[in-house]
Structure formats: structure tokens, C-alpha cells
Amino acid sequence: MKINFKKNIDGLVPVIIQDSETKTVLMLGYMNEEAYKKTIKTKVVTFYSRSKQRLWTKGEESGHYLKLVNIKSDCDNDTLLIQVKPTGTVCHKGSDTCWGESNISSYGFISKLETIITNRIENSDSNQSYVASLFSKGINKIAQKVGEEAVEVIIEAKDSNDNLFLNETADLLFHYLILLQAKGFSINDVVNILKKRH
């Protein structure tokens, strides 16, 4: 990979730091050629600090290092995307990212659906939603509903109506997410087990 450090007068290229696992963007820094070479050699991300006017290894004071996983250059070879494994918080203000966000795994709409389920459970009232109503009936009823949906998926899998199969699969997944919350877990707990098995 050939990086164009000479494109800018100061010899610096912007570096986007991303968690290699969660894909969360953690921070933005700058590297000169020396910082880049040190990062490659040590496998710990080193920047060129514009304020300190020197090389600066992230974590040299806090102990919260950015362990190098992968480096990619953009199409013009003048911006880097560095994927890392952080050993602690990234922002000097104590947050996971420099945008004050949490660095947690997100599964797109599935994570959004988990949040909706949580809100329906926590904010149930007299006009209860289906989720709150089912949750109020207890773990046995929720587990029974998951079993019913699983049987319906099996039945539809043996037929040729893909639309019915996909709809029953969606029902099963939805009720499974409710069951997970009833047991005090999230989809991330299941993903972590799958990662360990892998």
C-alpha cells in the first residue's frame, strides 16, 4: 500500500479509527509517514499529534491502547481507515468514542426491534401493546408462543409457499427476542456464544 503523505503541505493524512468488531467509528487522528511506520512495527496505533508536535501513541498516558487489526487506504491513497481492538475508552473525556457514543455491537433493525420491545415492556399502560400483554402473562406463555411459532416455521418449511415461510420465520424471531428479554438477555449474548464456538 502506497500512501500519499506528500499531498498535504504538512505531510499528514487523516486516519479514521474503527472498532474491528463492532464497526463503530471511534475517533479521527492524523499520521505522518513516521507514525505510520511505527504503527506497522508495534501493532499499536501511533499518530502525529498536531498540538504536541510529536509522535503520540494513543494510550501512552491512559493505558487505553488501540491494537492494530487492519489498515486500508482510500481510492486516492490519502486517507486511512484503521480497524483496531481498543483496550479501553477512546476519548480523553472518558467515552467509548469521540462522539460520546457507546461502542456496542449493533445488528441494524434487529437491535432497533429489541429497543422497541424493551420500551413496550417498560411503558405498558391500560391500552397495552401486544408485547406488553404477552410479557405480563409470564415466561411460560412467552416460551409457549415461541414453541408455537417454531412449529409453524417447520410446517411452512415443508411447503412451497415462500411468503408464508418467511412470515412465520419473522414471527418466530420476534417472539424469540421477547423470550430473550424475559430471561434477561439480548441477541448480543447469543452472538457472543456463537463467536466463542466459531
The Cα-based distances of 48 to 12, 99, 161, 162 in angstroms read 8, 21, 59, 55
Give the pLDDT band (50/70/90) at residue 32. Answer: very high
Q: How far apart are CA 146 and CA 109, in angstroms?
A: 20
Q: Extract the C-alpha cell encoding 193.
A: 456464544
The alpha-helical segments, DSSP class H, found in the chain are: 33-42, 109-122, 130-136, 139-157, 162-182, 187-197
Taking 60 as the threshold, does the pLDDT of residue 126 lie above it? no
Question: Given this model, what pLDDT does residue 1 score?
Answer: 76
- pLDDT single digits (tens) 68-108: 999 999 999 999 999 999 999 999 898 999 999 888 888 88
Give the pLDDT band (50/70/90) at residue 124. Answer: confident
Domains located in the chain, CATH noted: 13-86 (3.10.20.810), 109-196 (1.10.287.1080)
Quick one: which H or E segment has residue 70?
strand 66-73
Q: Own/partner pairs for 192-196, CB < 8 Å, 24+ apart?
A: none
- pLDDT single digits (tens) 104-120: 888 889 999 999 999 99
Question: Given this model, what pLDDT does residue 9 score?
Answer: 82
Question: Given this model, what pLDDT does residue 125 score?
Answer: 67
Give the pLDDT band (50/70/90) at residue 127. Answer: low
Instruction: Please report the DSSP string for 10-52 in residue order.
Output: T--EEEEEEETTT--EEEEEEE-HHHHHHHHHHSB-EEEETTT
- Residues with Cβ within 8 Å of residue 120, at least 6 apart in sequence: 129, 131, 132, 135
* Number of C-beta neighbours around residue 80 at 10 A: 21
